[in-house]
């Protein structure tokens, strides 16, 4: 089963540093570990993440032509590495299109990507730094 939750919205950033500064000026609290290569802001139970455009495209749209992907991913954080694989298989069984098989990521977690029928990218991720509450909401990050 794919959990019914939204944990992270990731924006593909041309300049993580510039976007980070902008959201900082809004007064949004950064999560620990934020920097100019990746930044996150805890927003009422979910995380807004900023990730370099090229790096995010390599994960969420491997092999696709420029412009075919919208530059935004929605993430469902799960409690274990095994849960990534289970939820990914459930998504494919429900009619999702495979984008990136479950795999270990350079940032230390495990994730997979699928696309819904209109091409929106969903990531199923396990990240040890994501602290989830009883409803799957993000209560801490980092």
| Residue range 8-141 in CATH 3.30.360.10 | no
Q: Mind listing the pLDDT tens digit for each residue in 100-128?
A: 999 999 999 999 999 988 788 999 999 99
Indicate whether 89 pLDDT > 90.
Answer: yes
Neighbour count for residue 13 (Cβ, 10 Å): 21
Burial class (CB in 10 A: 0-12, 13-18, 19+), 54: exposed
Q: Mind listing the pLDDT tens digit for each residue in 31-41?
A: 999 999 999 99
Looking at every residue in the chain, the average pLDDT score rounds to 91
Q: Look up the pTM and report it.
A: 0.75
Indicate whether 66 pLDDT > 70.
Answer: no
Query: Nearest-CA neighbor of 126 among 89, 76, 90?
Result: 76
Q: Mean of the pLDDT values across residues 68-86?
A: 91
Q: Mean of the pLDDT values across residues 59-83?
A: 87
Output the pLDDT for position 124. 95
């Amino acid at each position: 089963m794919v959990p019914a939750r939204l944990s992270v919205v990731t924006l593909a950033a041309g300049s993580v540093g510039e976007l980070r500064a902008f959201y900082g000026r809004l007064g949004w609290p950064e999560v620990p570990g934020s920097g100019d290569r990746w930044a996150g802001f805890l927003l009422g139970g979910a995380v807004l993440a900023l990730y370099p455009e090229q790096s995010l495209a390599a994960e969420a749209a491997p092999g696709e032509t420029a412009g075919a992907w919208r530059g935004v991913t929605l993430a469902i954080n799960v409690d274990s590495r095994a849960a990534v694989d289970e939820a990914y298989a459930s998504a494919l069984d429900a009619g999702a299109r495979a984008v990136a098989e479950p795999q270990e990521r350079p940032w230390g977690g495990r994730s997979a990507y699928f696309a819904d029928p209109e091409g929106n990218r969903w990531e199923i991720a396990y990240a040890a730094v994501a602290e989830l509450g009883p409803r799957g909401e993000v209560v801490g990050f980092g």
